[in-house]
Structure 1
Amino acid sequence: MARHTFTVGQTIEFVPGRYDGSAPAGTYTVVRQLPNDQMDREYRVKNSRDGHERIVRESQMRGRASGPFG
């Protein structure tokens, strides 16, 4: 089974697909890595603005640069 790419506590950009309804794009924090056997792993993430949590697939996530200039 493939490992998760993102870690708990990491800040990511959520990029919703055309079928994701009104899910807002933007900055989220990874709250939990979810177990699954899929190639497209899943995570529970929390919106940085409104605190709403949702489950997203890794293909919908973009890592953010970390450090003093990222």
Structure 2
Amino acid sequence: MSNHRFACGQHVTFTDKRFLGPNWSGAFTIVKQLPSGEGAPRYQIKSAIETYSRAAYEHQLSVASAMFK
């Protein structure tokens, strides 16, 4: 049984809380569920405007708003 909250193909909002600057967020799609790291579920996510994917912890993701879908 998976402890991941989001499914592959789901649209999410990724928010990066920066230590010395403003928060950043953007629209992404879940590409793959990754093994948990540091006790938290992780995901491979991809933006339509970037040529690369990135890894994100579940606490950095939220369900995408209608404007991002």
TM-score w.r.t. length of structure 2: 0.74
Sequence identity, in percent?
Answer: 29
In 2, distance between residues paired with 1:2 and 1:13? Answer: 21
In 2, distance between residues paired with 1:2 and 1:11? Answer: 19
In 2, distance between residues paired with 1:50 and 1:35? Answer: 23
Q: CA RMSD in A?
A: 2.5
- Whether 1:51 aligns to 2:51 is yes
Q: Give the number of the structure whose residues are more often strand, by fraction.
A: 2
Q: Which amino acid aligns with 1:48?
A: A
Q: Give the number of the structure whose residues are more often helix, by fraction.
A: 2
In 2, distance between residues paired with 1:4 and 1:64? Answer: 16
In 1, distance between residues paired with 2:65 and 2:57? Answer: 19
TM-score w.r.t. length of structure 1: 0.73
Following superposition, which runs of at least 4 residues in structure 1 exceed 4 angstroms of deviation?
none
Q: CA deviation at 1:65?
A: 5.1
Q: CA deviation at 1:49?
A: 1.6
Point out where structure 1 has 5 or more consecutive residues left out of the alignment: none
**Superposition map of 1:1-70 within 5 A:** 3-19=3-19, 25-36=25-36, 38=39, 40-64=40-64
- Cα deviation, 1:6-35, whole Å, max 9, x if unaligned, reads 00000000000115xxxx621000000001
- Tell me the number of residue pairs that the alignment of Structure 1 and Structure 2 aligns: 63
